[in-house]
Amino acid sequence: MKLLLFLFAITIAAQPHTRPAAVPPAHKRVVAPAPKFSDAEIQSRIQAKLAKSKIARNNFKFTTNGGITTIEGKANVVQHKGSATRMAKTAGARAVINKIQISEEAKAAARAKLDSGRRRAQVKRGEVRSQSN
């Protein structure tokens, strides 16, 4: 009896240990690795984009260190702050520290636009957009 038990144990131990097949995910997310540029390359790419842009007249100061770009300056248009951030990100910056100061006149103009209401009529899904008969 001990011999049969011993042979059974050896037979079991000799079997290859396999795991059940893993279920593949329903979709595969393919993420391209972000290109890595040196600080000088990021800086030159930002300057090239800035030369083509309307926000160049604001004379923002861009500095890049370790892939992180810092933007300093003053703007008279609120949207220029966001444009400068997007410009640095698309030029290859890993992160952006935006220290642009918006003028009080620009802040007041933005507040006035918000107070006057939405510029476009908001249409909910399912509502008829126009009354054409």
- pLDDT tens digit string along 78-110? 999 999 999 999 999 999 999 999 999 999 988
Closest to 72 measured CA to CA, from 85, 54, 91: 85
Percentage of the chain beyond pLDDT 90 is 47
At residue 112, the pLDDT reads 87
For residue 76, which phi and psi values (nearest 5 degrees)? -105, 5
- Decide if 34 is inside a domain: no
pTM for this one?
A: 0.60
The number of folded domains in the chain is 1
Could you tell me the CATH number of the domain that includes residue 74?
Answer: 3.30.1340.30
Q: Which residues form the domain of 54? A: 39-115
Closest to 72 measured CA to CA, from 94, 93, 48, 98: 98
Other beta carbons within 10 angstroms of residue 44's beta carbon come to: 14
The H or E element that residue 6 is part of is: helix 2-14
Q: How confident is the model at residue 1 (pLDDT cuts 50, 70, 90)?
A: confident
Using CA atoms, how far residue 41 sits from 48, 95, 107, in Å, is: 11, 15, 34
